[in-house]
Amino acid sequence: MRYTGIDEFLSQASDTLAKGPIALVFVEDTVEINATVRHNLHLGFKKNILFMPAEFELAEDIADQVIRVDADVVRDGNREEIVNKIIELAPGVWIYACYNAEFLFFPFCETRTVGELLAFHSEERRDAMLCYAIDLYAGDLEAHPSAVCIEDAYIDRSGYYALSRSDAVTNYPKERQLDFFGGLRWRYEEHVPPERRKIDRIALFRAKPGLKLRADHTFNDEEYNTYACPWHHNLTAAVATFRTAKALKRNPGSACSIDTFRWHNSVPFEWHSRQLLDLGLMEPGQWF
Determine the structural domain holding residue 181 and report its residue range.
Answer: 102-201+208-288
Name the band, by pLDDT with cuts 50, 70 and 90, for residue 125.
Answer: very high
Lowest mean pLDDT among 109-118, 166-175, 228-237, 244-253: 166-175
Whether residues 80 and 28 share a domain: the answer is: yes
Q: What is the pLDDT of residues 130-160, one digit of tens each?
A: 999 999 999 999 999 999 999 999 999 999 9
Whether residues 178 and 283 share a domain: the answer is: yes
Whether residues 5 and 51 share a domain: the answer is: yes
Q: Which of 100, 130, 148 is the last residue of a domain?
A: 100
Using an 8 Å Cβ cutoff, are 98 and 239 in contact?
A: yes
Give the list of residues 6+ apart from residue 73 with CB closer than 8 angstroms, or none: 26, 27, 28, 51, 79, 82
Whether residues 51 and 129 share a domain: the answer is: no
Whether residues 124 and 85 share a domain: the answer is: no
Cα-atom radius of gyration of the chain, to the nearest Å? 18
Whether residues 61 and 141 share a domain: the answer is: no
Residue 274 pLDDT > 90: yes
Question: What is the pLDDT averaged over residues 252-259?
Answer: 89
Whether residues 54 and 195 share a domain: the answer is: no
Residue 197 has what DSSP assignment? Answer: -
| Number of domains composing the chain | 2
Whether residues 94 and 148 share a domain: the answer is: no
Q: Percent of the chain at pLDDT above 70?
A: 100
Q: What is the pLDDT of residues 203-245, one digit of tens each?
A: 999 999 999 999 999 999 999 999 999 988 899 999 999 999 9
Whether residues 195 and 113 share a domain: the answer is: yes
Residue 219 has what DSSP assignment? Answer: B
The predicted pLDDT at position 29 comes to: 94
Whether residues 119 and 194 share a domain: the answer is: yes
**Bridge partner residues of 267 (DSSP):** 155
Whether residues 53 and 70 share a domain: the answer is: yes
Using an 8 Å Cβ cutoff, are 202 and 215 in contact?
A: no
The pTM of the whole model exceeds 0.85:
yes
Q: Which of 100, 134, 164 is the last residue of a domain?
A: 100
E strand or H helix that includes residue 183: helix 183-187
Tell me which of 225 and 171 has the higher pLDDT. 225
Q: Percent of the chain at pLDDT above 90?
A: 85
Query: CA-to-CA distance for 165 and 176, rounded, in angstroms?
Result: 9
Whether residues 43 and 108 share a domain: the answer is: no
